[in-house]
Amino acid sequence: MKTATLPKQLDLRGLAARGATVSGTVAPGELPRLDEAGVALAEPLMASFSLRRDENSRSVVAAEVKATLTMQCQRCLGEVSVPLSTSSTMACVWTDDEAASLPAFYEPLLVADEAVLRDIVEEEILLALPSFPTHETECKTREQFAALEPLNASSDEVTEVSAQADSPFGVLEQLKN
């Protein structure tokens, strides 16, 4: 089933008054701030916006984003595929004063007449990025294993070296010989 591309701009308040739902995909390369952050979309992401009015006539946007990202593994510095699923409930506001008066369960969404949906999607992804993405399994490279090889020496050698290093008279013994 092919899904349509996410519209660029929409009047969220008008759609909230009608109780509409908007969904679509965003292709890789269409989110420049992700590219600047060193994050790439592995495949087109799926975004869905459910709009409604709450009991206080606020325009409420429930956003869901599902994507597979390609990031740099912080353990091996290789590429790692990171599945991401995020959702948030936002209330449309005109000013910062309105945002400050929102209930805690709403995130403020400062919008004018029309909102750019890709900007909202991009912000949701940036807020949900893992701080230290890593592979789920052990992922040391050959260079890392080679660098750790001296640490894997036999226990006798390690004990002998540590005994000499721990003795305060080890230096004197070396001078005597």
- Nearest-CA neighbor of 27 among 39, 41, 37? 41
Q: Are 58 and 52 in contact (CB under 8 A)?
A: no
Q: Are 25 and 4 in contact (CB under 8 A)?
A: yes
Output phi, psi for 96, to 5 deg. -70, -30
Number of Cβ within 10 Å of residue 133's Cβ equals 18
- Condensed to tens digits (0 to 9), the pLDDT of residues 43-88 reads 999 999 999 999 999 999 999 999 999 999 888 888 899 999 999 9
Cα separation, 96 vs 109, in Å, equals: 10
Chain-centroid distance, C-alpha 131:
7
pLDDT of residue 113: 82
- Condensed to tens digits (0 to 9), the pLDDT of residues 104-159 reads 999 999 988 888 999 999 999 999 998 888 888 777 666 666 666 765 555 455 45
Cα separation, 161 vs 154, in Å, equals: 11
Q: Are 62 and 50 in contact (CB under 8 A)?
A: yes
DSSP state of 6: P
- Alpha-carbon distance values, 132 to 84, 140, 143 (Å): 14, 15, 21
Is the pLDDT reported for residue 1 higher than 50? no
Helix ranges (H only) for the chain are 12-18, 32-36, 96-100, 117-128, 142-148, 155-166, 170-176
Specify which residues 81 forms β-bridges with. 70
Cα separation, 107 vs 91, in Å, equals: 6
> Which whole number is the average pLDDT over 28-53?
92
Cα separation, 90 vs 101, in Å, equals: 13
Is the pLDDT reported for residue 162 higher than 80? no
> Which whole number is the average pLDDT over 22-35?
91
| Maximum alpha-carbon separation in the chain | 92
- Condensed to tens digits (0 to 9), the pLDDT of residues 80-101 reads 999 999 999 999 998 899 899 9
